[in-house]
């Protein structure tokens, strides 16, 4: 049997025209504007085919060879392939592909490593951390005693001396590094040494940059961490979902923490789509792409700086940049709204020591995974910086003109169909 029974858009259009319209409008939205949200990307047609496949029907609680349902031979094979690919790509001793998201992966990592009430040392959210790194509105801040470390005010870089001092003072059971809006490389060895000094586990939340690790564009946390938690849909360009990598002695604890402790049935269409993305990430063209993501981000940060939007830390080593709009007298919230009206999707973001509340914020975060997948390069990044600057300063009439310029630019680099890998230099 080699017939694929997959997405049938005409059937959707007939059966549910309202949702069909949403799907088409969203495709237009993604293709019609500049997607600069640092945590988004455009997945390949192969990933989308698996997500829309009949694997979505299968219940498979458990792990390959040890399921609580019959009929799991094919999904076992998909999960085993994905695990083997992730182990090869990252040099990991053990991999769990079942977390439904990055937050689910982090919850399972906590469950495997610490007990409620334990002390966790992690980056403060306003300094670049994540909700699951101890925010009071999240399980991590409610069930664990979190001590937050911050960046230095003068350099806006992680203050490793402060991290060590806090670790010695509070003796955490778990140290977390990894961030959502920190544009620089993280010194994993320094964190490992600090964790070892106080007898703590080290978890690296690599959700944002694991795709850069896969593409060999930034150093890997895998040799240093007890557990690496990730998402699969950011720079890595796979389906939405999570993944955990760990050392062999923690394998059983991690697996039990994912299922049955924090999750039930895995989403096997997503697990198989992760396997597809992991194969794509091992190809030579993915390395070209990952390096280009960083070059684009650096060009975009430099372009924003030239327009009076100060890059936090002075620039970036990764796929994202954080720009401080204070000198322009525009809040992050207003900038996000104006940019959206001009067809430029980005997000407001707190900057370190931000005087504004998070819902207003003094900065914007921009990321280059999506535009790099589309085929844009440094020259276009300089154009984009100019378009962002114009939008941030613009009134309603000018926003329409900027939106026209954005449409003209993206029409030369359509997202779907994506550019063929043959067209890139590898
Ligand atoms: N929401 C993601 C981000 O945009 O950074 C992190 O979970």
pLDDT (tens, 9 = 90+) of the chain, 426 residues, equals: 677 887 889 999 999 999 999 999 999 999 999 999 999 999 999 999 999 999 999 999 999 999 999 999 999 999 999 999 999 999 999 999 999 999 999 999 999 999 999 999 999 999 999 999 999 999 999 999 999 999 999 999 999 999 999 999 999 999 999 999 999 999 999 999 999 999 999 999 999 999 999 999 999 999 999 999 999 999 999 999 999 999 999 999 999 999 999 999 999 999 999 999 999 999 999 999 999 999 999 999 999 999 999 999 999 999 999 999 999 999 999 999 999 999 999 999 999 999 999 999 999 999 999 999 999 999 999 999 999 999 999 988 899 999 999 999 999 999 998 887 655 554
- The per-residue DSSP string of 300-355 comes to HHHHHHHTT-EEGGGS-SSSEEEEE-GGGT--HHHHHHHHHHTTEE-EEE--TT-S
**375 in contact with ligand 1, CB cutoff 6 A:** no
DSSP assignment of 78-130, as one string?
HHHHHHHHHHHHHT-SEEE---SSHHHHHHHHHHHH--TT-EEEEE-GGGT--
Residue among 307, 360, 367 nearest 334 (CA): 360
Structural domain count of the chain:
2
Answer yes or no: is the C-beta of 373 below 6 A from any ligand 1 atom.
Answer: no
Please, what sign has the CA dihedral across residues 270, 272, 273, 277?
positive
Domain that holds residue 274: 54-281
Catalytic residue among 164, 237, 240, 274: 240
**Order of strands across the sheet with 363-367?**
310-311, 320-324, 363-367, 347-349
Residue at 49 is within a domain: no
State the pLDDT at residue 71. Answer: 98
135 and 79 in a single domain? The answer is yes
Please state the length of the chain. 426
Please report whether residue 6 resides in a domain: no
Q: Is 161 helix (H, G, I), strand (E, B) or coil?
A: helix
Catalytic option among 150, 164, 192, 234: 234
Say which of 40, 124, 159, 205 is annotated catalytic.
Answer: 205
Instruction: Kindly calculate the radius of gyration of the chain based on its CA atoms and give it in whole angstroms.
Output: 22
Spatial separation of the C-alpha atoms in residues 242 and 244, rounded to whole Å: 7
Judgement on whether residues 228 and 209 belong to the same structural domain of the protein? yes
Question: Do 295 and 99 touch, CB atoms closer than 8 A?
Answer: no
Q: Can you tell me which atom of ligand 1 is nearest the CA of 231?
A: 7
Q: Is the pTM of this model over 0.85?
A: yes
Verify whether residue 240 is a known catalytic residue.
yes
Q: How far apart are CA 150 and CA 233, in angstroms?
A: 27
pLDDT score at 421: 61
Q: Is 61 one of the annotated active-site residues of the chain?
A: yes
Kindly state whether residues 384 and 326 are assigned to the same domain: yes
Confidence (pLDDT) at 252 = 98
Residue 289: inside a domain: yes
244 shares its domain with 291: no
Final residue of a domain: which of 281, 314, 349? Answer: 281
Phi, psi of 391 (to 5 degrees): -65, -40
Q: Percent helix, strand, coil in the chain (nearest 5)?
A: 50, 15, 35
Instruction: Please report, for the domain that includes residue 77, its CATH number.
Output: 3.40.640.10
Q: Would you say the CB of residue 102 lies under 6 angstroms from ligand 1?
A: yes
189 is catalytic: no
């Amino acid at each position: 049997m080699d017939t694929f029974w997959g997405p049938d858009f005409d059937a959707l259009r007939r059966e549910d025209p309202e949702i069909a319209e949403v799907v088409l409008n969203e495709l237009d939205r993604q293709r019609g504007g500049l997607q600069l949200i640092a945590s988004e990307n455009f997945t390949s047609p192969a990933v989308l085919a698996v997500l829309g496949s009949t694997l979505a029907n299968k219940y498979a609680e458990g792990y390959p060879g040890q399921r609580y349902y019959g009929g799991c031979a094919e999904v076992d094979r998909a999960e085993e392939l994905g695990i083997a690919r992730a182990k090869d790509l990252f040099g990991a001793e053990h991999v769990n592909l079942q977390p439904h998201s990055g937050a689910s992966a982090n919850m399972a990592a906590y469950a495997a490593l610490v007990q409620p009430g334990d002390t966790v040392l992690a980056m403060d959210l306003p300094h670049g951390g994540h909700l699951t790194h101890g925010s009071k509105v999240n399980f991590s801040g409610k069930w664990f005693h979190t001590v937050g470390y911050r960046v230095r005010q003068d350099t806006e870089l992680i203050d490793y001396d402060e991290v060590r001092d806090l670790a010695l003072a509070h003796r955490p059971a778990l140290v977390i590094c990894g961030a959502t809006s920190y544009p620089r490389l993280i010194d994993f060895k320094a964190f490992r040494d600090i964790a070892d000094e106080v007898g703590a586990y080290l978890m690296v939340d690599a959700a944002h940059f694991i795709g850069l690790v896969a593409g060999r564009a930034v150093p890997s946390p895998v040799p240093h961490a007890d557990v690496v938690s990730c998402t699969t849909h950011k720079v890595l360009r796979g389906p939405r979902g999570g993944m955990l990598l760990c050392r062999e002695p923690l394998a059983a604890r991690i697996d039990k923490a994912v299922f049955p402790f924090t999750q039930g049935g895995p989403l096997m269409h997503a697990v198989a789509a992760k396997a597809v993305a992991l194969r794509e990430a091992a190809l030579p063209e993915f390395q070209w792409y990952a390096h280009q993501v960083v070059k684009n981000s650096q060009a975009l940060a430099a372009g924003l700086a030239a327009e009076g939007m100060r890059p936090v830390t002075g620039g970036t080593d990764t796929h994202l940049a954080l720009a401080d709009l204070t000198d322009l007298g525009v809040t992050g919230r207003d900038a996000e709204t104006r940019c959206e009206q001009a067809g430029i999707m980005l997000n407001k973001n707190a900057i370190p020591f931000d005087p504004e509340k998070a819902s207003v914020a003094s900065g914007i975060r921009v990321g280059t995974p999506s535009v790099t997948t589309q085929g844009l390069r440094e020259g276009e990044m300089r154009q984009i910086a100019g378009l962002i600057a114009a939008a941030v300063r613009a009134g309603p009439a000018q926003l329409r003109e900027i939106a026209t310029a954005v449409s003209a630019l993206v029409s030369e680099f359509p997202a779907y169909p994506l550019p063929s890998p043959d067209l890139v230099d590898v």
